[in-house]
Amino acid sequence: MGQDNLKTNTILIDVIPQRMTPKQSLERLVELEELTNTYGGIVVVKKYQRRLHPHPKTFIGPGKVEELAVEGPAVGAKLLIINDRLKPRQMYELGERLGKVGMHVWDRMDLILKIFGKHANNAEAKLEIELASISHMGPRIYGMGMELSRQGGGIGTLGQGETNTEIMKRHLKERERTVKEKLKTYQTTRNLQRANRTRKGLKTVAIVGYTNAGKTTLLNALTGRKEYAANELFATLDTRVGSLYLPNKHSTVLVSDTIGFIRDLPPELIQAFASTLSEAVHADLLLHVVDASDKNAKKHMEVVEDVLGKIGADKIPRIVVWNKADRLKRRLAASKLSVSAATGAGIPELVDRIERTV
Ligand SMILES: Nc1nc2c(ncn2[C@@H]2O[C@H](COP(=O)(O)OP(=O)(O)OP(=O)(O)O)[C@@H](O)[C@H]2O)c(=O)[nH]1
Ligand SMILES: [Mg+2]
């Protein structure tokens, strides 16, 4: 996409089941729109199409593709994002058709990878993203080779297409191996650090939650660190650790922050970020931060629970922290631990709860 001050006009589209109401379908696009904004795009049109099954060749129906080929240029759209995972073939066909009218086509995973790519600021996160990109783009490249050779026609072009595909395939496989090897060394370091902490009897608390819930701000509030917190999705991609002194126990616990969760966090990403996420998996206590001012808070909590299950962290004791209480007009039920990581309200109560739990 363009320079910072040049936002890319973007169309979002979703394929939805017959029964879904227009309201529900637009809700599904809310997260995609937030992700698009985080990347630096501006959504000019949101659409959905009802289909029993995605179209095998183009995901959305051919009629819709033609509609977009007219509407896109009319609204100055340079990018189409589909709220799902596309097959290489579908991506190829769509890119071919809409490329003719000056539009790029991304699926949800492409968008997430682009955002991650922008935020990766340490070597480990960069490698993790590269690994996820390889597993995402690999099949697409092989698929494209197939398409190219099929369309190439003549015997010469066919052979050429295959050769190039083979070369790319081998190159990707080699790169994948190297990246995995490098990531392993990070994992080993983490394991050693963890073993060290256990030996010293240091407990760890991991902050988890939906992206933008205020995890980093809470880490900063608890530990006095000054990490980058921002009103954007996936501001944090690595794990930062700070220490928190527990006054009654006269002891210190380590608190770590981690990457935010979203709906359908692609499995490749969970796998690629295994090393970073391992801090949460091995923690003694999880702080599940919820943005209490977000009307989708309940849904976001379910998403977080789901991801915790997938990474094998669902058995760890946890405290639900209702954050951004300063934004609420009414007080939350007394049973809910409400804090404002931004103003510091409720933080002493939270420390007390941590102290009684670990
Ligand atoms: N009003 C208010 N804003 C908050 C509070 N906590 C965090 N924020 C804001 O919410 C936004 C997201 O905060 P972060 O701490 O970056 O959230 P995060 O969960 O770490 O987000 P990612 O790393 O992107 O997943 C920032 O603009 C914060 O300033 C709070 O208690 N009150
Ligand atoms: Mg963060």
Interval 58-102: pLDDT, tens: 999 999 999 999 999 999 999 999 999 999 899 999 999 999 999
Confidence of residue 159 (pLDDT cuts 50, 70, 90): low
User: What's the CA gap between 332 and 322, in Å, rounded?
Assistant: 9
Q: Residue 4: its pLDDT value, please?
A: 46
Distance of CA 210 to the CA centre of its chain: 10
* SS3 call for 207: strand
User: What's the CA gap between 72 and 103, in Å, rounded?
Assistant: 7
212 lines ligand 1 (CB under 6 A): yes
Sign (positive or negative) of CA dihedral 34, 40, 44, 48: negative
Q: Residue 160: its pLDDT value, please?
A: 55
Residue 128: phi and psi, rounded to 5, are -60, -40
Both 213 and 346 in a single domain? yes
Both 260 and 294 in a single domain? yes
304 lines ligand 1 (CB under 6 A): no
Both 210 and 349 in a single domain? yes
Q: Any idea what the CATH number is for the domain that residue 111 is in?
A: 3.40.50.11060
Confidence of residue 142 (pLDDT cuts 50, 70, 90): low
287 lines ligand 1 (CB under 6 A): no
Both 148 and 43 in a single domain? no
Both 227 and 329 in a single domain? yes
Q: Say which ligand is closest to the CA of 340.
A: 1
Q: Which ligand 1 atom sits nearest the alpha carbon of residue 234?
A: 24
Q: Residue 153: its pLDDT value, please?
A: 42
**320: nearest Cα among 346, 344, 295:** 346
The pLDDT tens digits for 268-279 are 788 778 777 888
The residues near 187 (Cβ < 8 Å, ≥ 6 apart) are 274, 275, 278
Q: Would you state the structure tokens that stand for residue 194, as one six-digit string?
A: 């963890």
Distance of CA 271 to the CA centre of its chain: 12
Both 13 and 82 in a single domain? yes
Mutate to test the pocket of ligand 1, among 37, 115, 217, 329 (most ligand atoms within 8 A of CB): 217
Question: Residues with Cβ within 5 Å of ion ligand 2?
Answer: 215-216, 235-236
Last residue of a domain, one of 84, 115, 146: 115
Residue 52 lies in a domain: yes
Both 206 and 353 in a single domain? yes
Structural domain boundaries enclosing 174: 121-181
The pLDDT tens digits for 5-63 are 468 999 999 999 989 888 888 888 988 998 899 888 999 999 999 999 999 999 999 99
Determine contact, residues 108/85, Cβ cutoff 8 Å: yes
Question: What rounded mean pLDDT belongs to the chain?
Answer: 87
Confidence of residue 106 (pLDDT cuts 50, 70, 90): very high
The residues near 352 (Cβ < 8 Å, ≥ 6 apart) are none
User: What's the CA gap between 98 and 91, in Å, rounded?
Assistant: 10
Both 215 and 321 in a single domain? yes
Both 343 and 211 in a single domain? yes
Both 253 and 175 in a single domain? no
Residue 197 lies in a domain: no
Both 263 and 352 in a single domain? yes
Q: Any idea what the CATH number is for the domain that residue 349 is in?
A: 3.40.50.300
Both 226 and 167 in a single domain? no
Q: Closest Cα to atom 2, ligand 1: which residue? A: 324
Q: Which ligand 1 atom sits nearest the alpha carbon of residue 323?
A: 31
The pLDDT tens digits for 296-307 are 899 899 989 998
Residue 15 lies in a domain: yes
